[in-house]
């Protein structure tokens, strides 16, 4: 039964008057996984996410979120979702603790507000008025409000924008804990290290199309992961691409009788591979145009 998937999307299309924002996207998010949606500005990530949340309507496609078509989702369905949107609009006069407690009241089975406030690192700001929080603190509050309802499926749209490095690490721990508890998470992020650290699978979307879905360490195919062994030979810099860098290093050690000058072994990072993927996705239409 398709209910095994938290999210199942086939042929999703969303058109705006001057733009096809989402152009035939298929997407499965398994129950209990963290799925990161990556893509450049304007790729269609927020549009896709908001359709799954029931805030925008698709023009075409089959969509199931926790077994329900979001266009028909009622408040019981909505209570099973947690949403941390890209921007928050309110300028509430409430304190952090009041706001989180207030939100807890909307849900049938909320988490403990004090624990949630502590988990996002806002303990010291419990009594602070929300409008006086810094940008990063406000973002932590957004995350608290997204998880207070104990959601089965959590949408996080660029959740750590504005976080300092320590807050980001703390947030990662929170997400790992939620995942351990079985929460399914759809994460949109521009931080590739965040995707690599948190996601079971990543999907790269470019110009409204899903370019590839894979685990962070298989994205771009095995070939893209080939190691580069470089060193300084008597004739100048040398580089070898190989699937067996250890054997290459051993060979060089024998050849040099020990220390190999300026030896380096490098593999492309997720960011290198991502940039390559979106670069080739962007180049494809231009090439087509060139031959016409």
Contact between residue 101 and residue 175 where contact means Cβ atoms under 8 Å apart: no
The three-class DSSP label of residue 116 is: helix
Contact status: 209 vs ligand ATP (CB under 6 A): no
Give the Cα separation of 131 and 108 in Å (integer).
28
Q: Nearer to ligand ATP by C-beta: 48 or 101?
A: 48
In the complex, the smallest distance separating the C-beta of residue 44 from ligand ATP, rounded to whole angstroms, is: 4
In the complex, the smallest distance separating the C-beta of residue 183 from ligand ATP, rounded to whole angstroms, is: 22
Query: CA-based Rg of the chain, rounded to a whole angstrom?
Result: 23
In the complex, the smallest distance separating the C-beta of residue 40 from ligand ATP, rounded to whole angstroms, is: 7
Q: Nearer to ligand ATP by C-beta: 41 or 115?
A: 41
Number of neighbouring beta carbons within 10 Å of residue 66: 19
Give the Cα separation of 135 and 160 in Å (integer).
10
> Using CB under 6 A, which residues numbered 152 to 181 contact ligand ATP?
none
> Using CB under 6 A, which residues numbered 21 to 80 contact ligand ATP?
21, 39, 41-47
Number of neighbouring beta carbons within 10 Å of residue 181: 9
| Burial label, 275 (beta-carbon count in 10 A; 0-12, 13-18, 19+) | middle
**Residues facing residue 209 across a β-bridge:** 206
**Cα end-to-end distance, the chain, whole Å:** 46
In the complex, the smallest distance separating the C-beta of residue 142 from ligand ATP, rounded to whole angstroms, is: 15
Contact status: 8 vs ligand ATP (CB under 6 A): no
Contact status: 237 vs ligand ATP (CB under 6 A): no
In the complex, the smallest distance separating the C-beta of residue 146 from ligand ATP, rounded to whole angstroms, is: 17
In the complex, the smallest distance separating the C-beta of residue 47 from ligand ATP, rounded to whole angstroms, is: 3
Q: Nearer to ligand ATP by C-beta: 47 or 184?
A: 47
Contact between residue 179 and residue 212 where contact means Cβ atoms under 8 Å apart: no
Please work out the total of residues on this chain that contact ligand ATP, with binding judged by CB under 6 A. Answer: 11
Contact between residue 95 and residue 126 where contact means Cβ atoms under 8 Å apart: yes
Q: Nearer to ligand ATP by C-beta: 46 or 101?
A: 46
Which residues contact ligand ATP (rule: CB under 6 A)?
Answer: 16, 19, 21, 39, 41-47
């Amino acid at each position: 039964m398709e209910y095994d998937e938290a999210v199942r999307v086939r042929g999703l299309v969303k058109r705006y008057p001057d733009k096809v924002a989402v152009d035939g996207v298929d997407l499965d998010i398994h129950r209990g996984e963290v799925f990161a949606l990556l893509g450049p500005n304007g790729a269609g990530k927020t549009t896709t996410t908001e359709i799954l949340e029931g805030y925008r309507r698709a023009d075409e496609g089959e969509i199931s979120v926790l077994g329900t078509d979001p266009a028909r989702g009622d408040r019981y369905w909505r209570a099973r979702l947690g949403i941390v949107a890209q921007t928050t609009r309110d300028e509430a006069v409430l304190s952090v603790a009041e706001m989180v407690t207030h939100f807890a009241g909307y849900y049938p089975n909320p988490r403990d507000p004090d624990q949630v406030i502590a988990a996002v690192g806002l303990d010291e700001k419990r009594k602070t008025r929300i409008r006086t929080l810094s940008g990063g603190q406000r973002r932590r509050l957004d995350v608290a409000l997204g998880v207070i309802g104990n959601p089965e499926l959590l949408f996080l749209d660029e959740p750590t924008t504005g976080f300092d490095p320590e807050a980001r690490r703390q947030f990662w721990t929170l997400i790992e804990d939620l995942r351990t508890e079985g929460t399914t998470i759809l994460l949109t992020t521009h931080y590739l290290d965040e995707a690599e650290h948190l996601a079971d699978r990543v999907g790269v979307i470019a110009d409204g199309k899903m370019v590839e879905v894979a685990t962070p360490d298989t994205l771009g195919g095995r070939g893209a992961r080939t190691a580069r062994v470089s060193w300084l030979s008597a004739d100048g810099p040398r580089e070898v691409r190989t699937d067996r860098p250890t054997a290459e290093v051993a060979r060089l050690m024998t050849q040099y009788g020990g220390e190999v000058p300026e030896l380096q072994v490098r593999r492309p990072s997720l960011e290198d591979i991502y940039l390559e993927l979106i670069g080739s996705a962007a180049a494809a239409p231009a090439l087509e145009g060139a031959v016409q």
